[in-house]
Structures are given as structure tokens and as C-alpha cells.
Amino acid sequence: MKVLIEMGKRHGRKKILLITATLMCFMLFAGIYQTNRIAAARENTTYEQLKLFGSVLDLVQRQYVEEVEPQKLIQGAVEGMLKSLDPHSSFMKPDDYKELKIETKGSFSGIGIEISIRDGILTVVSPIEGTPAYKAGLKAKDRIIKIGNKSTKNMTLIEAVKLLRGPKGTDVTISIFREGWTKLKDITITRDVIPIRSVRSRVLDHSYGYIRISNFQSETTSSMKNALKKLEKKGALEGLVLDLRNNPGGLLDQAVKVADEFLDKGLIVYTDGRIPEQQMRFEAHPNGQPNDYPIVILVNEGSASASEIVAGALQDHKRAMILGTQTFGKGSVQTIIPLENGAAVRLTTARYFTPSGRSIQAKGIEPDIVVPFIEVSEAKKPEKEDVFHFLKEKDLEGHLPGEHEEKEPESSADKSVSELKSTGKAEEEEQPMDNQIKEALQILKAWQFFSEAAD
């Protein structure tokens, strides 16, 4: 009897195990079936859309008023596809790709402005210091309505760049509109070689250094190290002002190396994308000769991308104090992907985050001390002060949304028509200290004073 009961128990356990195994297999096959079904549905959707594209392509080729080359149609479709993603993704023809490589390694001839698209209109983000555009008085938020006789409506950034660039000594006329004006103003600018000199330096008040980085190019880090050595040769640095105002960004690796120069350990920046290759972490390395002096970093609404990486990293590590106004807020990573025919795709592939996990996209870096830039025009009385306001990432149509995006009020603090003239001073070394540099210097002096008092 006991034997029969034991056999019955064993038979029951086997039956339960068999049922469990059967259910697991069913669930596994059901999961596979569901996954395949979803994949098949996506494939069908993609196939249907490709059928639509093919139908329109065939329709245009057969019935359009003039015969059009298939290459032109397909290229236009690719450009439109990338343009629909965000303002920073684009298709680059072979010539455009070559120009991009030249821009990051050498020099080019043009007028020297950083541009973007805002509300479908070509808009100045920032003029590059010392260039013809800077001397002509172009300002951030100026809207370029025409280049020569061509309207910029629906014009791509690459098309605009091609029209603005040209041989040294040649002229280009642009029609701009500025908030507060009642009509367009034509400005004729003579093109010049735009040097890739991203670093300038000088001594402030004996033992305090000043380094200005205007963009991040292939030689930026080495140039900055040389500038630091020259400053240190003139005496022991008691503090450094690192000026990243109006710096639109540039190469990610250069931003990492610049931040690494002032950090001995810890995370500098990390990126997060859909594929493993876009999930990267960049760490600081010990420096042979630590730069332990206090640092104040100057930023404003024209500081974007790579400059925000540097400011964010040093701010998170409590290595520098950030002074100025909130930055542009471009926290996305663009990857240049070469194609077989010499063209390339500039594609937004990831977002970057500061060491503490802050996303800068459409938000920017908030300064530790808010100090607006004040320009006293010679044409005005000293008591009348102007504050620059800049175009931001979140103003760009189709931008990637930020985690804590906030709407900011529009400002009408723009310059008058009479101020469209050359400053006459292109080199940073020749210019007097502005109010933000003066404020940074005072902070460094107070920093030194309290450090000595604590000792």
C-alpha cells in the first residue's frame, strides 16, 4: 500500500513538472511569436511607407512639368528626412563634408558667424570674435532675411554657409532684421580668412591669469596648455578666469581634455544613446603638475555644447565657480557618419550628462553667481546699460526636449541701428576688462584673501 502511495506521489510530481515545462514552453513560444509579430508589423509599416515613397517618386518622374534627375529627388528626400528630426541632424554632400573637415583642422574664408534656424528663419547665434561679421556689428538674434539676392526662407544651414563663405577680399551683402527695427538693413561685409585660433590669454592684475576659449578645435587643448605655461612663467598664478562666453562648442574630445587639465580624478561627462557604442564615459586622469589655483568660469547664453561640458564638469566637482548667465542648453551629441560616395550624415545619436547626472538639453548650465553682461556704448550716456540676450537651444524648432524644460519670457533688449559699426578691436588682449571679468577677478582676490586668513 505504501509503495502504491509513493508511486502515486512520484507520478503526481512528474505530472506537475510536465505541466510546468509545457506552460513555460508555451509562454516562450508565445513571447517569440509576439516579438516576431511586432517586428513583422514594423516591417510592414516600413514597407508601406517605402511603397508610398516609391509611388511619389514615380509620380514626380512621370508627371512633373520638367524632367528631374532621380539623384536630385532622392537626395532631397534624405535631406528632408534628417531635417525633420532636429535642428542639428543633416545630410552633407561630398563638398560639404570636406568643408567641415577643413573647419575643424585649418582655416576658411568667410564672414565669421555661428548661425542656426529659428522659426524657419536663418538666425545669428553669435558672431565669432575678431571676424568681419564681428567688426560689422552683427549681434545674436539678428535674422538674416537675404544673402545677396537670395531669400533665406526654407534655406538649409549648409546652403547658407556656402553663400556666406567665399574667397578672401570678396564682398557679400546680407539683409538683416533686428527686433525693434521697422525695416530691413543691408550690410555689405568683406570676406576674410577666419583663423582657427581658439585660445587667447593675458595676465590680469599681476598674478591672475585669463584664458579665453572661443571654440573647441583640434588644437585647442595644446594651445591652452601653452597659454597656461606662459602665464605661469610670469609668476605663480593665484587664480584663473576661464572665459567660455559665446563659445558655440566644437569637438567633444577637446572639451574632455580641457576639463581633464583641471581635474585629477572623477567623471567628466557621460553620454547615453540607444546603442552601446553611444553610451560612453570619460574620466579624468592625474596631472603631473596639478593646477590647484581657484578658477572662475565665465559663461553666457552663447556658451553651448562642448563649453557646457567643461563648465558642468568643473562645477559638479566644485573645482570652479561659474559666473555669468544661463547657457544655451545644447546637450546632444552629433556623430558624423561617412557614406560611400564621399557624403556624410550628421546625426544626433545621444544626450550627454554632467558627472552628477544633469541633462543640459534645452536647459543649460545655471551659474553659481548670476552677473549679466553690461555694455556701455560710447554713443549713449554711461548710465544707460544694455544686456545681451541670445538664441537658446530650446528656441530651435524641433529640438530634443529637455527633462525640465521651462518657458522663458522673450526680451526686447536689442541694440539700435546706429550701433552697426566695427568695434575696431579684434584681439582679446587689446580690449579692456568688461564687468563680468572684473567681477570674476574680485571673486578670485577675495578667494585668495579668505584662504590666507584661514591658514
Neighbour-count burial of 196, counting CB atoms closer than 10 A to its CB (0-12 exposed, 13-18 middle, 19+ buried): buried
Buried b (16+ CB within 10 A) or exposed e, 333-372: bbbeeeeeeebbbbbbbbbbbbbeebbbbbbbbebeeebe
Rounded to whole angstroms, the Cα distance separating 295 from 448 reads 11
Shortest CA distance to 352 belongs to which of 366, 335, 331? 331
Residues 58, 73 contacting (CB under 8 angstroms)? no
Long-range contacts of 399-402 (CB under 8 A, 24+ apart): 399/86, 399/87, 399/361, 399/362, 400/86, 400/331, 400/332, 400/348, 400/351, 400/361, 400/362, 401/361, 401/362, 402/329, 402/331, 402/359, 402/360, 402/361, 402/362, 402/363
Residues 161, 93 contacting (CB under 8 angstroms)? no
Neighbour count for residue 211 (Cβ, 10 Å):
21
User: Among 316, 332, 359, 363, which one carries the catalytic annotation?
Assistant: 316
Long-range contacts of 282-290 (CB under 8 A, 24+ apart): 282/256, 284/259, 284/260, 285/260, 287/260, 287/261, 290/264
DSSP track, 353-404: E-TT--B-TTT-PPPSEE---EE--TTS-TT--EE-----GGGSTTPPPPTT
Residue with cell 543649460: 364
Rounded to whole angstroms, the Cα distance separating 217 from 106 reads 9
Q: Are strands 295-299 and 239-243 parallel, antiparallel or unpaired?
A: parallel
Q: Is 272 a catalytic residue?
A: no
Q: Determine phi and psi for 190, rounding to 5 degrees.
A: -90, 125
User: Among 116, 201, 214, 305, which one carries the catalytic annotation?
Assistant: 305
Shortest CA distance to 440 belongs to which of 392, 370, 359, 365? 370
Q: Is 86 a catalytic residue?
A: no
Q: Is 305 a catalytic residue?
A: yes
User: Among 330, 392, 394, 415, which one carries the catalytic annotation?
Assistant: 330
Residues that are catalytic: 305, 316, 330
